[in-house]
Chains A and B, each alone.
Chain A
């Protein structure tokens, strides 16, 4: 992630990786928006800057998807 890149550019680049994750876990676009926002908010709120921010977003989103599925399974 380049320091001069906008978040629109970053998420556009990550979209091909994120979309299959959302699909695999049955996450709706609204839920996806919430997950990505939460992850990115943590990222921009913390210093020092992480060494691998994109990897961190992907890992955090996958964890959120898993958690969502587990919650759904408990409800069933």
Chain B
């Protein structure tokens, strides 16, 4: 047999398999809906008895949906990942090589780990990632899968505040993605790397990875990731005292912002614009932008960001010696205290500041310190406020 004939035979077999896969993928959404519409107690029975569910397309879709649901709905993401693992045990081994199934099992465990991380079950997340690594070792050796797992594990290390290890894992993930020709995914990991620096309170170091990410991200494939990179870069520039660069980038990025019409983006755009205006020494537009952002966060019931933007307003007022406005702002901050989404230490810091504002004793230095504390404590709920209070 010649190489030519060998390649022709390969092509025919791959084409036949591609047709089968396309059919499975077409059927998968309806089959997953059927599975998810079934009461949880009856799903195992349905999975066992309905052979249509023993399909690669179903497994793949459950894993993908689990990954996508992690942030928005981590409990659902965990359900989906567990269902995917059940399906993976039912696939026909003659049609699907075991190594490929192991790759998707690893993805399912990684999705489960990520969803557990989001719910702050950090130990459970670490166990799931360790199991994912075991399945990956039994898989095809696809480096892309390895890179995806490293990226997710890095988020766990970031949440555990093990920043150096998170940076190292992301460095490896980025190298693997680039070696595999996956520039867009490398860009995504660079955005993740920038968040590690942000959580470590090192905004200056977050800037270079974001510049590089903007070169790599495929905007057409993932406009949201592009917006995220742009917005984070603008935020970090202004956070490092570089408001002119932040403004230039914002002006260049207006079409990207305009394409996203959701309240989340609108509020954060107004907020960062307020910070740019502040940095450029324009307090009047800064004030109206901060107020608009704060009202947006209040309407969207996002208390932590409401508190942070209120502190930007407080900084503005304190800098101008507007103690009466500070007192009024303290009254307007009341809804924040009713929230259960703000951890105890942060509430203590806010209450401390509120008292100072009400008694017109809030200096610029005090507001700055509380604002800096709250920014750090957003990603580190265990950070004690007591130490700061002692120094104020």
Binding site for B on A (CB under 8 A): 6-8, 10-12, 14-15, 18-19, 22, 29-30, 32-33, 36-37, 40-42, 44-47, 50-52, 55-56
Contacts and interface: CB of A to CB of B under 8 A. Distances in A.
Interface of B: 1-15, 17-18, 21, 56, 60, 64, 97, 100, 103, 140, 142, 144, 180-184, 218
Closest 9 CB pairs of A and B: A52-B181, A33-B6, A29-B6, A8-B11, A7-B11, A36-B10, A29-B1, A40-B14, A7-B14
- Determine chain A's interface SS by DSSP, over half rule: helix
B7 A32 contact: yes
Contact of A19 (B3, B15, B182): B3
Given A30-B1, A30-B6, A50-B180, A7 B18 contact: yes
B94 to A, nearest CB: 13
B181 A55 contact: yes
A15 B183 CA distance: 26
A41 B144 contact: no
B138 to A, nearest CB: 14
B15 A6 contact: yes
Contacts of A41: 14, 17, 97, 100
Contacts of B181: 50-52, 55-56
Contacts of A33: 1, 6-7, 9-10
Contacts of A44: 14, 17-18, 21
A41 B9 CA distance: 13
Contacts of B103: 46
Nearest to B97: A41
A29 B8 CA distance: 11
Nearest to A54: B181
Contact of B2 (A12, A29, A51): A29
A37 B10 CA distance: 5
A36 B15 CA distance: 13
Contacts of B14: 7, 37, 40-41, 44
Contacts of A45: 21, 56, 100
Contacts of B97: 41
Contacts of B3: 15, 18-19, 22, 29, 32
